[in-house]
A and B are shown apart, each in its own frame.
Chain A
Amino acid sequence: MSTQTPTTTEAAAPEPGEAATKKTLGIGFWVCIGWLLVMVFVAVFATRLPIPDPKFNFIEPGQAGPSKGPSTAHWFGTDKDARDVFARTMYGARVSLTVGFIAIVFGMFVGGTLGILAGFFRGWIDRIFSFMFLVLLSFPSLVLAIMLTALLDRKLFTISMILGVLAVAPVGRLARATTMQYAEREFVIAARSLGAKNKRIIVRELLPNVAIPMSALALLGMAVAIVAEGGLAFLGLSVERSITWGGMIQLGSDSSKTLQNQPWIAFFPIGVLFLTVFALNFAGDRVRTYFDVKETSL
């Protein structure tokens, strides 16, 4: 990974299986994966878990204000419409995780395909695709996302696609660089001299090699997509008529009074969003170090 000279202990103990030299993902990685699995579980089974109805207004007759702090009945308190913040936070995971997942799958598929083709065929195909990536990278990502949401609708799938488009250029560049690195290697030349067609070389020889660094970036990319969705939702531009973390945070902070008197409305969703993004970033970083992916093309 680094350019430093190997230390003496590493040089003196080259045997495989040595505890000191064996690369592991570390306990932090598994804690993060654990948190992510919990969030996925909650998102999938939200309707069946014993949590309150996120759209129900818990108003009792003779009560002073609709919003109450955390209690045993409502773990994260209730918001201005007396809805359960804990339940809403759990349901909010659905939009965030779905959008993040679809976006990164789309970005990987399209960006990966274009990048591999550009890196393999070079010439004018490379020039066109690279220029396309450059054009996409000429917009700050949130600006591009805002522009596209303004023009298209705000359904779950559309938002996911828009954020997927943002992932195309970075993923494509990485795929292109990696492909170019491997296209000159002996095993590709060997396959070609045995009479393999381009299609076979790309699918059987190059794709497995390019997929490793790309998959290492998948977790980081998903974090970026979830943050972007949160930003859009916070600005009121994400999926309409559904519960999102960004939307909840916006609701809890749109006036300074709310933020001052009922901080739990904004801070619990912030906490869960932060932990999720942190887990994705941390796990992604560990995976990247594990597979030794360089950030040259990012």
Chain B
Amino acid sequence: MAITLLFAVSALTFGAMNVLGDPLFNILGPIARDTSNPKSVKLIEKAKNDYNLDKPLPIRYGLWISGFVRGDMGVQFSTDGQPPVTELLKERIPRTVTLLILGQLIAVLVSIPWALLSASRADKFVDRLSTATTFMLVALPGFALAIILKYLFAIRLGWFPLTYRALDPLQTRLFQMLLPGFVIGLPAAAIYQRLLRTDLITTLQEDFILMARSKGVSKPRILFKHALRPSMFSFITVVGLTTGALIGGSIVVETVFRIPGIGSTLVEAVLRHDFPVVLAIVMIVATAFVLINLLIDVVYTIIDPRVHR
């Protein structure tokens, strides 16, 4: 199933790029339209030959996909093809992955205590306040949150650096990613908090909680030891499913904080009409997304014994 899906996704992406777009024009620029000039015609012929544009679409797809799975994603149209797309992405992907992991980590670490606090005081003032806060965080678009946090913590308070610098040592770069990580993590934390809070409230009404309470188990102990684990199932699923949305969010965050990851590279490539780069990034992201969802299904069956058939 996952293989069929990936095949359809790649064929669709490749087809759209080549049918809706005009690769020849993107390689050569205005020369591609100038068929009366023999000099241009020569260049057109050469480009067609170099980039396999004279072959029919299915064959080009076959050539491209076989290169792609072997790790050869072609050459960039702009910058005279150097560095090749694979090299470019090899340098950029780790930054985006670091950012996403940091964002998820922040989201999980923030949301669990927050949900426990809310659920233990359900419908009291603290809970209502936190529900209102989650509503606001969800309604705030990623780029707006990025600018607000950048303004408050980097410009006004000066706690964090303004932008990312690729040449700094590792710890410094991780520190530079902290604020972008919060921009990605906080809206996700709001989603997780809402979900976990609802599940916790349901769990807290179960008989075994009443039992524990009547035995005199302290409230924090009930929350952490008894209620948390059985409430985590849908939480874990949603953490997985949200990863895809976070990839979208990282595009904007990378642009605001000038992090050269794949998100900002995608935007640059789109603005320069550099199709091999766009194609490679879209494919990598879609593949990662499909694989993550597959992984979630597997993990879910392992952790929740009730799903076993």
Contacts and interface: CB of A to CB of B under 8 A. Distances in A.
Contacts of B290: 138
B200 to A, nearest CB: 13
A230 B150 CA distance: 18
A186 to B, nearest CB: 31
Given A147-B282, A282-B139, 7 more contacts: A140-B247, A143-B266, A143-B282, A150-B270, A234-B252, A259-B150, A270-B147
A138 B5 contact: yes
Contacts of A43: none
14 contacts: A131-B4, A140-B247, A143-B285, A143-B286, A144-B282, A146-B251, A147-B270, A152-B20, A231-B142, A231-B143, A231-B248, A235-B252, A253-B256, A281-B139
Interface stretch (A54-62, A196-204, A271-279): A271-279
B143 A249 contact: yes
Interface of B: 4-5, 8-9, 12-13, 16-17, 20-21, 135-136, 138-144, 147-148, 150-151, 154-155, 162-163, 202, 205, 244-245, 247-249, 251-252, 255-256, 266-267, 270-271, 273, 278, 281-282, 285-286, 289-290
Given A138-B286, A249-B147, A227 B248 contact: no
A266 B143 CA distance: 11
A31 to B, nearest CB: 13
A267 B12 CA distance: 39
A91 to B, nearest CB: 19
Nearest to B146: A253
B233 to A, nearest CB: 14
Interface string A1-17: 01110000000000000
Contacts of A230: 141, 143-144
A274 B251 CA distance: 20
Contacts of B4: 131
B263 to A, nearest CB: 9
A250 B207 CA distance: 54
Interface string A226-249: 010011001111000000001001
Contacts of B141: 227, 230-231, 273-274, 277
Most buried by B among A139, A227, A230, A231: A139
Main secondary structure of the interface of B (DSSP, over half): helix
A263 to B, nearest CB: 6
A134 interface: yes
A256 B289 CA distance: 33
A237 B248 CA distance: 15
Main secondary structure of the interface of A (DSSP, over half): helix
Contact of B273 (A146, A150, A266, A277): A150
Nearest 3 A/B pairs, CB to CB: A142-B248, A278-B139, A151-B20
Contact of B285 (A4, A140, A223, A235): A140
Interface residues of A, number: 45
B245 A259 contact: no
B125 to A, nearest CB: 17
Contact of A138 (B136, B255, B289): B289
A63 interface: no
Contacts of A263: 151
Contacts of A148: 16
A267 B13 CA distance: 37
Contacts of B12: 135
Contacts of B251: 142-143, 146, 231, 235
Given A140-B247, A236-B271, A281-B135, A147 B13 contact: yes
Given A140-B289, A235-B252, A260 B139 contact: no
Contacts of B8: 131, 135
A100 B155 CA distance: 33
A249 B144 contact: yes
B140 A135 contact: no
B151 A259 contact: yes
A149 interface: yes
A260 B271 CA distance: 27
A140 B282 CA distance: 9
Contacts of A259: 147, 150-151, 155
Given A139-B289, A140-B244, A281-B138, A147 B271 contact: no
A298 B256 CA distance: 30
B245 A140 contact: yes
A98 interface: no
B247 A223 contact: no
Contacts of A146: 251, 266-267, 270
Given A138-B286, A147-B13, A249-B147, A282 B155 contact: no
B29 to A, nearest CB: 16
B270 A237 contact: yes
A206 B270 CA distance: 43
Contact of A135 (B5, B155, B247): B5
Contact of B202 (A4, A151, A236, A285): A4
A234 B143 contact: yes
B151 A282 contact: no
Contacts of A140: 244-245, 247-248, 285, 289
Given A134-B5, A147-B282, A256-B162, A231 B270 contact: no
Given A235-B255, A235-B267, A278-B139, A141 B286 contact: no
Contacts of A223: 139
A219 to B, nearest CB: 12
Interface in A175-205: none
